[in-house]
Structure 1
Amino acid sequence: MTLERTWLLISVSTAGAPDSLRVQVWRKLRSLGALYLQQSVCLLPAEPPVLRDIRRLADRVRHQGGTARVLSMAFTDPAEEHSVIAELNAARDAEYAEVLERLPELRNELAAERARGNATYAEVEESEADLERFRSWLAKIAARDYFGAVGEEAAREAVEQAAAELAAFEEAALRADGKRP
């Protein structure tokens, strides 16, 4: 069974270019969820937004003195393609797991502040900012989750549970300020 998916094989060298370019390239490829096959060679699905970003990156590399090649390819062996997809999903699942690992800090902070009777608007604002960082982080992971890694649902549910706990904390803060019955 062939998946008939097109992939981008990307090869980048920043030799002879400014040192900062290497970091820019690494960050961009990381943000897109690239799978490195070997040093300076990676693979991404040829989705329209990915292709656009990779073309821009390749142009930047070339304009700053590096070299970049972007090749379109398809797998001839479906098992190999499934293996690559599994690797990409495993990488996303590790990222979703990190969200799940760090999220209890926010939830524990809310519980501790509530137990101390410190349900204040300042704490609500601080926790809202933390929750927004989690939502933003989750959105970035989801944007590079091309094949529906299984960890997304649990991470999304955990973030929404934290949002519900923050809403309850905010209600307690409003009651403490005398603004709610």
Structure 2
Amino acid sequence: MKSNHSWIVLSYKVPSEPSTMRVRVWRNLKALGVVYIQQSVCVAPDTPEVRRKIQQMEKFIQSGGGETFLMEVVQFADRTEEHMVQLFNDQRTREYEEFFGGCDLFLKEIENETKRKNFTFHEVEENETDLGKLKKWYRKIMKRDFFHSPLMLNAKNRLDLCERKLAEFTEQVYRSEGHIEGQIE
């Protein structure tokens, strides 16, 4: 499996106290989408954004009295690279599955409010807020989906379904209040 991927490997050591530094480093690197291959050793595809953020983390770690070691890997051995890509896709699968759960809750909420005929502007606002959170969550996962997980398209389709269901619900609210969206009275 020859590829065009190059990689960044970051090994770091942070002081044991304060623990907030260790947690901040871990959270920032996980948000970036790295895979940990050992304790305090993580790998990520070498993209401009990943490189920039890892360099920022290096500075943060060093300014807090920690140590870093950054390696640029042009190419892993074929089997290692296949394994790395699988680890990244496994992480994304877990994230997408959790995202699907969030979408299911959203759709259930719309369904429940529709059954109760709770067609109020307040419900539209609440559901718009919830849909905004789902969109933000989806964008975060997509940003980390370096190798285009097989679930990527399903996630987009599920988000689109949430948008359609909210649009249908909103239309029912306007009808129940005697208004058609965009119509001037």
Q: TM-score, normalised by structure 1?
A: 0.95
What is the percent sequence identity of the aligned residues?
31
2:150 match? 150
1:64 match? 64
The superposition leaves residues 102-137 of structure 1 with CA deviations (integer Å, 9 ceiling, x where unpaired) of: 211111111111111101110001001111111100
CA distance in 2, matches of 1:3, 1:112: 48
1:32 match? 32
1:6 match? 6
1:141 match? 141
1:103 match? 103
Question: Is 1:91 paired with 2:105?
Answer: no
Note closer, same or farther for the CA distance 1:167–1:54 as it changes in structure 2 (3 Å cut). Answer: same
The superposition leaves residues 45-71 of structure 1 with CA deviations (integer Å, 9 ceiling, x where unpaired) of: 111110000001100110111112211
2:162 match? 162
1:131 match? 131
CA distance in 1, matches of 2:163, 2:169: 10
Corresponding residue SS for 2:153: helix
Bigger Cα displacement from structure 2, 91-100 vs 68-77: 68-77
Task: Give, as a single letter, the amino acid of the residue that structure 1 aligns with 2:179.
Answer: K
Corresponding residue SS for 2:56: helix
CA RMSD, Structure 1 to Structure 2 (Å):
1.4
Give the CA deviation at 1:17: 5.4
Question: Is 1:176 paired with 2:172?
Answer: no
CA distance in 2, matches of 1:132, 1:60: 31
1:21 match? 21
The aligned length equals 181
Contact 1:100/1:158 (CA < 8 Å) preserved in 2? Answer: yes
Task: Give, as a single letter, the amino acid of the residue that structure 2 aligns with 1:90.
Answer: D
Note closer, same or farther for the CA distance 1:58–1:122 as it changes in structure 2 (3 Å cut). Answer: same
Contact 2:9/2:70 (CA < 8 Å) preserved in 1? Answer: yes
Note closer, same or farther for the CA distance 1:86–1:122 as it changes in structure 2 (3 Å cut). Answer: same
The superposition leaves residues 151-175 of structure 1 with CA deviations (integer Å, 9 ceiling, x where unpaired) of: 1110110011011000000000011
The superposition leaves residues 68-108 of structure 1 with CA deviations (integer Å, 9 ceiling, x where unpaired) of: 22111133421210111011011101111111122111111
Contact 1:17/1:65 (CA < 8 Å) preserved in 2? Answer: no
Bigger Cα displacement from structure 2, 168-177 vs 98-107: 98-107
Bigger Cα displacement from structure 2, 79-88 vs 53-62: 79-88
1:114 match? 114
CA distance in 2, matches of 1:80, 1:66: 29
Give the CA deviation at 1:11: 0.8
Contact 2:96/2:141 (CA < 8 Å) preserved in 1? Answer: yes
Corresponding residue SS for 1:55: helix
